[in-house]
Amino acid sequence: MASSPPKSKSSPNEPRSLLRILGIFEAIARTREGVTLAELSAALDAPKSSLLLILRPLVAHKYLAHSSGRYELGPSIFQLSAEVLASAGTTQIMRPYMEELAERSNESVYLSVIDKEAKLVTYVDGIESRQPIRYSAPIGTTRPLYGSAAGKALLAFQEPTWCQNYLKNVKLKPLAAKFPITKSELQKELDEIRISRIALNLGSLVSGASGIAAPIVKADGTATHALLVVAPSERLKEAIPQLRTIIAEVAASASQTLAHMPGN
């Protein structure tokens, strides 16, 4: 049985048929096996006869498919979805996930992108924490891939050949007045990130600031963008268990959205 979409009171000016169409798509999208007319009627609290008047043209125009008594999403709605996603840039599409992450973490959040030419990670969007003591960096800030949480999250999800060439040629420099890590240590960390999909930087790049990042993984298993939470080191270290769960959940949702974008 399909789960019911959240019901909200419609205003007198909202056309009922439009709301029912949206409700139909929401109800069907929540299940993989499709829904029956009876299930839709119960989920939307609408008469079967009224729903049939809407369902028939949606099936005729291939926005829905009807087989064995069950309604599923059709090819036309998938094509429309692809066109909508294609019309918006990745930064715009990822903004709601950044807002969710900022709300749940209560810390500064950045969307980062890999620059494979310069071998850097760049902050392309950000939301500053509302806390009086917080981490802040201007949009356009760049960091070395090997030294930042977002950089390591992205580095771990590049094509194996590119990553191997990077490790072979990169010159690891001291960060935040600390000794540089070795290439073998970095390789081990990247292997762990590929499994956990979580990268950490505990004060090794900017003194007093730490970050946790997760890649936004595309359909081919690589990543060009990562979500990053940055905060004063002491506060972030205490919150790592909770932040691991939060950023993993948000990044997984963002990855699902990105995977449906054309070319991804």
pLDDT digits (tens, 9 = 90+) for 103-148: 999 999 999 999 998 899 999 999 999 999 999 999 989 999 998 9
* Whether the predicted pLDDT of 17 surpasses 50: yes
Dist CA 7 CA 229 (whole Å): 33
Banded model confidence at residue 238, pLDDT cuts 50, 70, 90 = very high
Percentage of the chain exceeding pLDDT 70 = 88
E strand or H helix that includes residue 200:
strand 199-202
Dist CA 39 CA 2 (whole Å): 7
Question: Which of 4-8, 28-32, 82-86, 153-157 bottoms out in mean pLDDT, i.e. has the lowest?
Answer: 4-8
pLDDT value for 64? 95
Count other C-beta atoms under 10 Å from residue 34's C-beta.
18
* Whether the predicted pLDDT of 19 surpasses 90: no
Q: What is the phi/psi pair of residue 215, to 5°?
A: -75, 150
Count other C-beta atoms under 10 Å from residue 14's C-beta.
11
Q: CA angle 52-57-58, nearest 5°?
A: 90
pTM over 0.85: no
Give exposure, 128-142, as e/b (b: 16+ Cβ within 10 Å): ebeeeebbebeeebe
